Amino acid sequence: MCNTPEKKNTLKEIFFHIIKILVAALLIYWVVKDIKMEELSSIPRSRMLLAWCAGFVMVMLQSSFTALRWQILVKAQGIPLSFYKALSLTYQGMFFSLCLPGGAVGGDVVKGACIAKEAQSDKKVESVTSIFVDRLAGLIALFGMAFLLILISIKEILHFDKGIQITIFTIGAMCLAGVSAALFIFFHDIFLRIPLISKLLDIPDKFLKGGLRRIFASVDVYRKKWKTLLLACVMGVTVIHPFLLSGLYLICLIISGKVFSALPVFLSSALGNVASCIPGTVGGLGARDKVMQVVLESNGISLSEAAVAPILYTCGYVSVSLLGAIFFILDSFLQKKRKVQR
């Protein structure tokens, strides 16, 4: 019995998902092995629990405001979407990003399929595009903040070990490239007027079977809503990502009992969250933790505390993501209840 192409693709996705889980596990082990048990046992359990709660609350607030940003983008296209529905689908997207092959893309596919059902037939493109635009706005804010924090902390970074300097500057280059790519997508029509750029773009576009042009066309849907796009980016810088930065700071503050300078911890959090965007692990687990750890250590935080803080942060993130399963079950129950009432 021969396997169908669909079955082969599914098995391939599952295989790579397992590889990503193993990579994440190895990276987390790399962080955990630096924890000294005698130092860990000296931290009261109540303080560890409080630190986890702080991470959980900050990530939950960040995710909730992300849902609000997405709702604003959807409603800007005349598509009715309640805050509850935006919140539910956002958390479900986080949950499926951890569980489904494809990572964040897998979560967005589930989210897109659900919102497309909610939209009218003539608004389905706009509804799905809103997810992509929301992610672009979020990346611009995150990469921009991380790059700015690198510039502000440049004097301190130059005193770090060479290997850590290279890591930070590599992430900084990625941030700059990411922001540039996002802005290129938003303002592609200006750049495509240059014949050379247009011809160069044809090469990857042919490889992707017209995928780039379709992305540009979908973003054009939002071009007339530039005020909404600006608001989405501003929300990321002023509200959404600061919750993530504050989350790691509160965890470090609680487990150590010391008041740290906020800037190095914010830098660690920003760089860790940028690293989590790199494909190769599930939900960025492991990559985020290791980058946070080495930057915290380089800023004088003890070896064990620098290892425990990212792990507690990740526990908070995973705990919030698991709320997506609750929303999924609740939505399924409500849908069945509506069908019965009809």
pTM: 0.83
* Higher pLDDT pick, 146 / 196: 146
How many angstroms separate the CA atoms of 67 and 130, rounded? Answer: 12
109-126 pLDDT, tens per residue?
A: 778 777 877 766 667 777
Two structure tokens written together for 38: 């005698």
159-168 pLDDT, tens per residue?
A: 999 999 999 9
68-94 pLDDT, tens per residue?
A: 999 999 888 888 889 999 999 999 988
What is the reported pLDDT for 1? 44
How many angstroms separate the CA atoms of 79 and 289, rounded? Answer: 38
pLDDT tier at 2, thresholds 50, 70, 90: very low
Q: Where are the domains of the chain?
A: 61-341
288-298 pLDDT, tens per residue?
A: 888 999 999 88
295-326 pLDDT, tens per residue?
A: 998 888 887 888 889 989 999 998 999 999 89
Residue 240 near residue 138, CB atoms below 8 Å: yes
* Higher pLDDT pick, 221 / 71: 71
How many angstroms separate the CA atoms of 317 and 168, rounded? Answer: 23
Number of other residues whose CB lies within 10 A of the CB of residue 339? 8
Nearest Cα to Cα of residue 225 among 78, 63, 82: 78
Task: State percent of the chain over pLDDT 70.
Answer: 82
**32: burial class by Cβ within 10 Å (0-12, 13-18, 19+)?**
middle
pLDDT tier at 60, thresholds 50, 70, 90: very high
Residue 262 near residue 249, CB atoms below 8 Å: yes
CA atoms within 13 A on the CB side of 248: 33
The one-letter code for the residue type at 32 is V
DSSP letter string over 141-191?
A: HHHHHHHHHHHHTHHHHTTS-HHHHHHHHHHHHHHHHHHHHHHHHHTHHHH
Would you give the DSSP letter of residue 214? H
